[in-house]
Amino acid sequence: MSEILLLLLSTALVNNVVLIKFLGLCPVMGVSKSVDSALGMGLATTFVLMLASAASWMLDNWLLQPLGLGYLRILTFILVIASVVQFTEMFVKKTSPGLYQSLGIYLPLITTNCAVLGVALLNVQQQFSLFKSLLYGFGSALGFTLVLLIFAGLRERVALARVPAAFAGAPVAFITISLLALAFMGFSGLNV
């Protein structure tokens, strides 16, 4: 039990996928203008990450390793992730057209979200069991969603502030997220 908690905490906070590992920065900058769409993006990414973790573990353990095809790993993972994203896109379009519209190009771009591929590859590297892979995927997704939400909330506040013209828009967003990253560095001293 404590191991599960440890894994979740360390993936979500200590080794946060966005702010510590610097993976998946594209949607963090792109879909953080409002908390609502940030939440939608976080949930979609969580969904993809979980499915991709499970699918890639099965592929690796039941197909690639028995056949000695480790060199096809990245290729097959990308294939699986792309399919999962395609499926997610159809699902979101069907269930929530508004969210689909507001996520726009960033939804299909989850395919190239390096956080997803990164987590799948890290799972293999660390030789996790299926359950732990899922947990690792979930923890990472939790961390991703958390950062996306915090950052979107901050940007909503910053949008109300009187930012000097030279800093308005992307520059102040970068400053904000770098400060956020500094704050998350504090978790590295966490003694769980």
For other proteins, the closer of residues 37 and 140 by Cβ is 37
Residues in contact with other proteins by CB under 8 A are: 33-34, 36-37, 59, 63-64, 67-69, 72, 75-76, 79-80, 83, 86-87, 90-91, 93-94, 97-98, 100-102, 104, 159-162
Token pair belonging to 121: 């590859």
Token pair belonging to 24: 């998946």
For other proteins, the closer of residues 21 and 93 by Cβ is 93
Least distance in angstroms from the C-beta of 80 to other proteins: 7
Least distance in angstroms from the C-beta of 151 to other proteins: 16
Least distance in angstroms from the C-beta of 156 to other proteins: 9
For other proteins, the closer of residues 91 and 167 by Cβ is 91
3-state secondary structure 82-133: HHHHHHHHHHHHHHCHHHHHHHHHHCHHHHHCHHHHHHHHHHHHCCCCHHHH
Distance between CA 74 and CA 95 in Å, rounded?
31
Tokens 């939608």 belong to 40
| Phi-psi region at 7: left, alpha or beta (left = phi > 0; alpha = psi -120 to 50) | alpha
Q: Among candidates 32, 41, 42, which has minimal Cα distance to 156?
A: 32
Least distance in angstroms from the C-beta of 154 to other proteins: 15
Least distance in angstroms from the C-beta of 150 to other proteins: 19
For other proteins, the closer of residues 46 and 102 by Cβ is 102
